[in-house]
Amino acid sequence: MEQQSDVADQELAASKYQPNLEGPFVGEKTPSQAITEEYAKADPTFVAKTLALPQTYSHYRPIQGDGNCGWRVQDIPIGFGYLESLIRCGGVNQLQAELARLRALNDYLETAGGYAPLVTEDFTDVTFDLMSDLIQVMTSGADPMAVLMEKFNEEMTSAAIIYHLRLLAASWLKGNFAEYEAFIPGMLTAIAKNGYCP
């Protein structure tokens, strides 16, 4: 009986938990050593893993854990990481090519995703405007990272870009449903077949 009470107490605490959502959505690059120092007194297994981080990853960006954090930046280039990689590794030509490719995917949002242009255009336009701004800044010789950081830390801009990426992901899953069906259990299968608006 006591075990059930513990579980109930844990569930109650979890339902009342409010994360600290202060600070920017995307933070400045920070040396990975900071994670090691922050968790130096944690579980020994965790400490060992954080000690290994700086050997593989020199830096990280703190990301606000508001539920959209995975779309802003991850090891695979999503959101912020995607655009940062284009700036740092690709340059103006790569950014222009990627902007053209994303514009061409608007048709895919409609044909595979089933989303009407009226629903998607506000979100896609924000992404395209940011990419155009980055191209213009890079062409002028100014720092595009300042613009990227500023835009990703504006709530409306960040939310629109993240929604655009979610629409692309949902459209890809719908358009390639047979390939991913085995990974989508039960009710999610029905949602994916019948349409899903993230």
Examine the pLDDT at 80 and tell me if it is beyond 70. Answer: yes
**Per-residue pLDDT tens digits for 12-47:** 766 666 656 676 777 778 888 887 787 777 778 877
Average pLDDT over residues 119-135: 95
Domains of the chain by residue range: 90-194
The CATH superfamily of 90-194 is Peptidase C65 Otubain, subdomain 2 (1.20.1300.20)
Tell me, yes or no, if the pTM score tops 0.95.
no
pLDDT tens, residue by residue, 68-78:
555 444 433 46
Rg of the chain taking only CA atoms, in angstroms: 20
The mean pLDDT value for 182-186 works out to: 68
Q: Of the candidates 47, 48, 195, 25, which has an alpha carbon nearest to the alpha carbon of residue 112?
A: 195
Mean pLDDT on 75-94:
79
Closest listed residue to residue 163, CA positions, set 198, 113, 112: 198
